[in-house]
Amino acid sequence: QVHLVESGGGSVQAGGSLKLSCVGAGYPFSTWYMGWFRQVPGKEREGVAGIASDGSPTYADFVKGRFTVSRDNARNTLYLQMNSLKREDTAMYYCAADSRRLLELVPGYVSYWGQGTQVTVSS
């Protein structure tokens, strides 16, 4: 059974940094596509960043240059380093996993989700 557990969320002032982690279990982590999505109440979930099994990253335009996605296959862990955080980055952040490589960060393409970790950025 696929199990994803996020951690690292919290409250931070604008301009600050946070690093999210997601530990995966119950599937061959190293060969699966992993990603981060976020959602604000009342809005649709949106893709933030993804990383293929070969380490190739994909980023949403609104995080390019600020966020970095990475993975440690030895630890079955996905990371999202978030720098220069803005108030509009406030959201619940979800870890995502799929056995197929996602060509686009579309929530409907994702097979498995974590429970989410809240990120709150204040001015």
Mean per-residue pLDDT, 99-104: 93
CA angle in degrees (0–180, nearest 5) for 96-111-4 = 40
pLDDT at 113: 98
pLDDT at 28: 97
Strand order in the sheet with 3-7: 3-7, 18-25, 77-82, 67-72
Percent pLDDT > 70 in the chain is 100
One-character DSSP codes across 62-91: GGTTTEEEEEEGGGTEEEEEE-S--GGG-E
Residue pLDDT, tens place only, 1-49: 999 999 999 999 999 999 999 999 999 999 999 999 999 999 999 999 9
Residue pLDDT, tens place only, 112-122: 999 999 999 99
